[in-house]
């Protein structure tokens, strides 16, 4: 079957094209969706891409979380559809209460861009099943409002229930509590992360590796995982 993955463009989205490219490389069919629509066009999974939706006014992701299409995103997520929020998309997911906690200004008050080491803490999600538990990966990070915060009780729950999906290694780039880089919901179909896997899916355009400059493709398994999850669910 052909797995159709929708990528929603909001005013200020920057990485929607990259996300569509990543889906295509992963073997899916990317479908461009518009924030002002109420039609998901029959897609099997969704990506909320990175960028600066609505100029990050009010709070990053807060206005986008109220966009017309988000009503359909919420319903789809509750039905179990795989939904990935990348950077600004992660901010939208927490603002829409599809994931807990919040994302605030980086601890050093500066925009940061780096190739970031991560550890996959939970590979039992629709977006991480092609990783090994504990696998260390490197994908690009670029944000100004990437500090993940939540109440201590909520952090304890996330840790205890295995809902921390990804954790920063080596450097905590933005002051995220407990080095959290990404989290999942209880069902494992909704995942939000601040780093950008769509920028590490094609040799020649990803992070450098010991083998060659810009050869890193550690972001690709996020998208192949989702394609496999949809195929498996339909089998």
Residues forming the active site? 87, 196, 198
Residue 108: count other Cβ atoms within 10 Å of its Cβ: 11
Report how far apart the first and last C-alpha atoms of the chain are (Å, whole number). Answer: 10
Residue for token pair 């002051």: 175
Supply 79's token pair. Answer: 């039905």
State the sign of the Cα–Cα–Cα–Cα dihedral 15, 23, 67, 184.
negative
The structure tokens listed for 227 are 């394609």
228: exposed, middle or buried (Cβ count in 10 Å: 0-12, 13-18, 19+)? middle
| Kind plus residue range of the DSSP H or E element containing 85 | strand 83-86
Angle of helix 220-234 relative to helix 16-25, nearest 10 degrees, comes to 60
Could you give the 3-state DSSP secondary structure of residue 196?
coil
Cβ distance 224 to 27 under 8 Å? yes
């Amino acid at each position: 079957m052909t797995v159709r993955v929708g990528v929603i463009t909001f005013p200020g989205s920057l990485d929607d094209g990259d996300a569509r490219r990543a889906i295509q490389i992963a073997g899916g069919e990317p479908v461009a969706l518009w924030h002002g629509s109420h039609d998901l066009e029959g897609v099997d999974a969704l990506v909320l891409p990175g960028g600066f939706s609505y100029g990050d006014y009010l709070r990053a992701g807060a206005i986008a979380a109220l966009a017309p299409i988000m009503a359909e995103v919420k319903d789809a997520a509750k039905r179990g559809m795989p939904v990935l929020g990348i950077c600004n998309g992660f901010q939208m997911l927490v603002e829409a209460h599809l994931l807990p906690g919040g994302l605030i200004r980086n601890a050093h008050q500066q925009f940061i861009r780096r190739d970031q080491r991560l550890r996959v803490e939970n590979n039992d999600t629709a977006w991480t099943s092609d990783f090994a538990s504990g696998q260390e990966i490197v994908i690009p990070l670029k944000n100004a409002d990437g500090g993940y915060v939540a109440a201590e009780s909520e952090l304890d729950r996330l840790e205890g229930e295995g809902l921390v999906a990804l954790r920063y290694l080596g450097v905590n780039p933005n002051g995220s509590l407990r080095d959290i880089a990404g989290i999942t919901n209880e069902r494992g179909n909704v995942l939000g992360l601040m780093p950008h896997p769509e920028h590490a899916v094609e040799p020649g355009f990803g992070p450098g590796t010991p083998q060659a400059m810009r050869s890193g493709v550690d972001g690709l398994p996020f998208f192949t995982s989702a394609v496999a999850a949809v195929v498996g669910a339909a089998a």
